[in-house]
Amino acid sequence: MVEVGLASDVAVILVAAALVGVLAVRLNQPTIIGYILTGVVIGPVGLAVVEPSIITDTMAELGLAFLLFLLGIKMRFEDIRHLITPIVKISIPQMAAIGLVGFGLAVVLPFSFEQAVIIGLAVMYSSTAVVIKMLNDKGEATSLHGKIDVGVLLAQDIVVVIILAVLAAGRPESAADVMATLAIVMVLVTITTVAAIAASRYLLPPLFRRIVDDTRLFFLVAISWLFLFVLVADQIDILLAPFGVDAYLSVEMGAFLAGLAIAQLPYSKDLQGRVNPLTDLFVMVFFVSVALDFEAADLLEYWQEAIIVAVVLMVAKFVVFFTLLNWQRFDLETTFLGSINMVQVSEFGIVVAVAAVETDPAFIGPEELGFVTLVALITMSVSVYFVQYNRQLFARVEPYLSRWEQTDPVTPADTDYRDHVVVIGYDEIARRALRILENQYDDIVVVDRNVAHVEAIEDAGYEALFGDVKYAKIRKDAGVNYADFVFSSSNQMGINEILLTETKEETTVFVEAATAEQAERLYDLGADYVIMAPQLGVAQFIEYLESYFQNRSVFNRKIAADLELMRTGRLFPDITDRPGGDDD
């Protein structure tokens, strides 16, 4: 084995995963598969270049923490309130049904009753890391089926916390011990949730309002908030030990609640774009580290049984989810997509199995741990392709599923914008333009990253979105690609080029430029009008905007005149020299 230091281990993981990730993208394959294969190749099963260490384990745990933090940031109460009831009705029977399937398969195969119980408890969850990562990559995390899947995953994560707490307490001597442990965990989750919600209402708003204009400080304080909850969750047993309470709360649950508190603030969408790259880094290490923990002998002890169980579980999970979502009267596409996304065994199943090995005495041995790990690996690897191509699969099987189409499906109110106006920035030009635009359109969304501006926008009666439009999440929430009119008062070329690329061909786009060369470039990209404030002035722009809506032929002549003016370089031509000048 090649001897390398801990820092070198991390370097090898990052470089190897990045190279394989690039290869996966070039081959149009999901990057998660590349990361897992990287761990297999460089880990003990393959070249044995890297072994599990404190650093790799810590970074992997932080990967899940950041993933749950990012998930929490997306969970605004008003967005998910209408889904809470169906999520509870889906998640509880789903876990019970799949737990029984896993238990039954294990009993039929060469496992003892006690081992079968642990296996049943380990396989009933779907993978938070895989599903959320794939939904985020595909931009489906806030879709209806995405919200349902995320809600079910959260319910499963709560159950995982409870089971881990029970296993951490060792073999219970009686049912009373089990109930006492469950009660403690539920109380801790409730207290922490209440604390997070209270902070989102009373502590965080004034704090973030003071610092949000400083982007670096804003990001650092948000990450510090995450680590505060991670610290409390990780050390909760020590904090409560003086009171004689033996408690457990997962780091992942703490991270999610930290994000949940920030999600209720108007700054959460901007933070999502800033946290994403860091999350991707740690999640990459997590998937590599999953494969680093493999020992070939233990992993392959029950490889034939693992393949059988993996196939049966994926089919069973799809059938159970499909039945339950259909029961809740979701439309056929939502039911299919929400089901096909959730067929894998979770990474938390491996965590449960590890906890069962570490009890004294152990519930299962390393061979059974290898079995659960291999089942999880197989199902995660296959399901990535199901999620990646879920809509193509639905298109193929839809004719065969039409008998399950609901006549009156649940259709939550669509909060996405359509055929509206998106205004970027809130300067003097934007303020005056809004007065004209509001007479032409019912829905106007103004994007700005200044707290005072956002408050002024809301006071003026417009929909305000706090954030930097350079982030895809902000553009998605503003509905840029569905807008009928986009007006950018920013002269940043990068932002305006993105807007012109993402808008529909029929969308009217007004943007701003700092130089004539930039204006020419933006016109080439399809801009309907490019504002050059120093040269044209606010008043002339307002005149142009009015003519656009009142007399399109006059507007077109003025645009042609401006283009000719820029080409000739004459700053003060005679009015009759301008194309169409006599008609103006």
What's the pLDDT at 576? 41
Which residues neighbour 242 within 8 Å (Cβ) at sequence distance 6 or greater?
none
Mean pLDDT of 494-523: 90
- The helix (H) or strand (E) run that includes residue 530 is strand 529-531
CA dihedral in degrees (70, 72, 75, 76; nearest 10)?
A: -110
Mean pLDDT, the chain, rounded, equals: 81
Residue 269 to residue 266: CA distance in whole angstroms = 7
pLDDT at 290 over 60: yes
Q: List helix spans (H) across 328-410.
A: 332-340, 347-358, 366-388, 390-401
CA-atom Rg of the chain in angstroms? 28
Q: Name the nearest CA neighbour of 187 among 179, 197, 176.
A: 179
Cβ-contact 291, 40 below 8 angstroms: yes
What's the pLDDT at 3? 45
Lowest-confidence region among 200-214, 245-259, 321-335, 467-481 = 245-259
Mean pLDDT of 298-308: 85
Residue 296: CB atoms within 10 A of its CB come to 12
| Res. 105 pLDDT band, cuts 50 70 90 | very high
What's the pLDDT at 1? 43
CA dihedral in degrees (160, 161, 164, 169; nearest 10)?
A: -150
Lowest-confidence region among 33-37, 118-122, 144-148 = 33-37
Handedness of CA 290, 295, 301, 303 (dihedral sign): positive
Mean pLDDT of 352-373: 83
DSSP designation for 199:
I
pLDDT digits (tens, 9 = 90+) for 425-456: 888 788 888 888 888 898 899 999 888 888 88
pLDDT at 412 over 70: no
pLDDT digits (tens, 9 = 90+) for 199-253: 888 888 888 888 888 888 888 998 999 999 888 888 887 777 777 666 667 777 7
Q: Name the nearest CA neighbour of 291 among 20, 110, 25.
A: 20
With H, G, I as helix, E, B as strand and everything else as coil, classify residue 52: coil
pLDDT digits (tens, 9 = 90+) for 533-555: 666 566 677 777 888 888 888 88
Cβ-contact 487, 421 below 8 angstroms: yes
pLDDT at 574 over 50: no
| Res. 583 pLDDT band, cuts 50 70 90 | very low
Please indicate, yes or no, whether the overall pTM of this predicted structure exceeds 0.75.
Answer: no
What's the pLDDT at 175? 67
Helices (H) and strands (E) in the chain, counts: 27, 6
Residue 168 to residue 160: CA distance in whole angstroms = 12
Q: Decide: residue 141, CB within 10 A, 0-12 exposed, 13-18 middle, 19+ buried.
A: buried
What's the pLDDT at 242? 77
Cβ-contact 337, 394 below 8 angstroms: yes
With H, G, I as helix, E, B as strand and everything else as coil, classify residue 272: helix
What are the chain's domains?
58-282+301-403 (1.20.1530.20), 421-550 (3.40.50.720)
